[in-house]
Amino acid sequence: MSRKKFDTDGDLATLTKPETKRPKLYKVLLHNDDYTPMDFVVMILMDVFNKNQDEATYIMLTVHTKGMGCCGAFPHSVAETKLNKVMDLAKKHRHPLLCTMEPE
């Protein structure tokens, strides 16, 4: 048996569902340099950002020709984790690859 709620005047009150906001998204960006091999950038895009070969190649070429490319947009904590993973891999392989994030 369901109960109905009444306001102070005795009228039937409506229950409102609180609005949930989507988290603010952050773009993760790769920056071009003259030293990081293209195949390493493709590998990063496939391993860290789950891109397929074609998507990874397209983003890598965008980074190469335009100086910067977007790997995706994520909630802050996810973007930060992916950025740190990219930077750790670049450092481990001794590449100067730069990865940043900015609000969408």
Domain boundaries, the chain: 32-103
What torsion do the CA atoms of 57, 62, 65, 67 make, to the nearest 10 degrees? Answer: -130
86: Cα separation from own chain's centroid: 12
Integer Cα distance of 39 and 37 in angstroms: 5
| Position 86 pLDDT exceeds 60 | yes
Region 91-100: mean pLDDT is 97
| Position 63 pLDDT exceeds 80 | yes
Write down the pTM of the prediction: 0.79
Task: Report whether 36 contacts 97 (CB < 8 A).
Answer: yes
Is domain 32-103 in CATH 3.30.1390.10, yes or no? yes
Band of pLDDT at residue 14, cut at 50, 70 and 90? low
By residue count, the chain amounts to 104
Band of pLDDT at residue 17, cut at 50, 70 and 90? confident
Band of pLDDT at residue 8, cut at 50, 70 and 90? low
Could you tell me if residue 40 is left (phi over 0), alpha (psi between -120 and 50 degrees) or otherwise beta? alpha
Region 7-27: mean pLDDT is 76
